[in-house]
Chains A and B, each alone.
Chain A
């Protein structure tokens, strides 16, 4: 019974109470993913499961048997930063950095959702096949990731550069 973490199979914990977040941080020492609130309210624990963004603090690890998890540690390839990581640096998308891994994983998931035409609460035409990533769309789609330092403008700039060709 295993779960795939950043390409490697990992044994599931015996205790079903262990959250995916605690499995990552405590068992695997992958401390990039952060525990901000442990109740699903802040988004700092966001990781990708089969490319889809989820809240790992509310995810019981045992529910994710056989799934593929990507954490912030798994985004860089061959030592090169993921384009979003580079953009966050360039656009000043973080101050303390605590929300940042969750922001970046969330943005990767968000970009995939937008590419497949998933609407958001900001989308005016629900019937459209796709909707452009405006600043308003990005803000709404990223609203599950809080940033107490207030780095939001840089976060949106970074996301727009990578995901929407500079943004409108």
Chain B
């Protein structure tokens, strides 16, 4: 990899000052960035280590949970409040990567990890994400792992994070700090669809740093889960995954629901079409299937992933069915 300078930031202000150099990138656990740097896909001239920033999970007075961006994945999954009140998030993190990687990876880094599309990784392939205008070898190539929703003629890559699918389902809010000050953003607005600028993964401005993720209060998220379908039983990316939370009324109808899909798009896919189709409907296979069909109606399969739309439909039904069966 190309040479770079390394500095460790003690707080967000110092990180942003050090990160204001256009050639600088923030460094968390390094589990994605170091790999990308070895591949030449990322070439920062300076790394600003932000693992020393506040790394705690705090109860906010209103029932929300504030998770510092420097908190390691393992610590989030292990936290009693996450396991009890937002089990979808704990389960999503635990299905991701390996234990060693979860121990190293930060929440901020997990959010900003880049696609594992093999053509993005292959410096000899045509990739619009790596080199704008070069073309996309995945569209007519080996695309089993690629997108069926929200893609464009320029890019069919998927976002690989499991944690983000759960965060999308939970309406998580991201706290940002940058040269221009602080702002917050729904996680679902952070990642972009590829459009004609697949080189831009997120809407982050230059030097902007993720400082925390807030989980709004959602008492009925105790009835939530994450299921990941993949080619191996463990340590593999999702073909399709589902994050779901379900609130069932006493009359047996869906009082409220949260649904998000992984493995299907350039960003964690909040299934709001399915959610709208579910609210107020009687719980049961028929309602689940109608909602899943609505969400996947515009699915555009590729040569090698034609199984994904049906897999997604079945997985949505199966996961919702399981949640109905769970005692809250």
User: CB distance A143 to B4 under 8 Å?
Assistant: no
Residues in B neighbouring A139, C-beta threshold 8 A? 233-234
Q: Determine how close the nearest CB of chain A comes to the CB of B27; give it in whole angstroms.
A: 7
User: Which single member of A17, A38, A144 contacts B3 (CB below 8 Å)?
Assistant: A17
Q: Compute the total of residue contacts between A and B using a CB distance below 8 Å.
A: 98
**Contact status B78-A58, CB under 8 Å:** no
Task: Compute how far the CA of A39 lies from the CA of B91 in the bound complex, rounded to whole angstroms.
Answer: 25
Query: Is residue A24 within 8 Å, beta carbon to beta carbon, of the partner chain?
Result: no
| Contact between chains at B100 and A46 (CB < 8 Å) | yes
A13 vs chain B, min Cβ distance (A): 11
Q: Which stretch of A76-84, A86-94, A116-124, A160-168 is in the interface?
A: A116-124
Q: State how many residues of chain B have any CB contact under 8 Å with chain A.
A: 35
Residue of B nearest to A57 (CB): B34
Given contacts A16-B6, A127-B84, contact A55 B101 (CB under 8 A): yes
Interface set, chain B 91-122, CB cutoff 8 A to A? 91, 94-95, 97-101, 103-104
Q: Residues of B contacting A60 with CB < 8 Å?
A: 6, 27, 30, 34, 47
B235 adjacent to A143 (CB under 8 Å):
yes
Residues on the A chain within 8 Å of B91, using CB: 121, 126
A-B contact pairs, 6 of them (CB 8 A): A16-B6, A17-B3, A17-B4, A53-B103, A59-B104, A119-B78
Which residues does A use to contact B, with CB under 8 Å? Answer: 15-17, 19, 38-40, 43, 46, 52-55, 58-60, 62-63, 106, 109-110, 113, 117-121, 123, 126-127, 139-141, 143-145
Closest 10 CB pairs of A and B: A144-B98, A143-B234, A16-B6, A143-B235, A121-B94, A55-B100, A126-B83, A58-B34, A121-B95, A53-B100
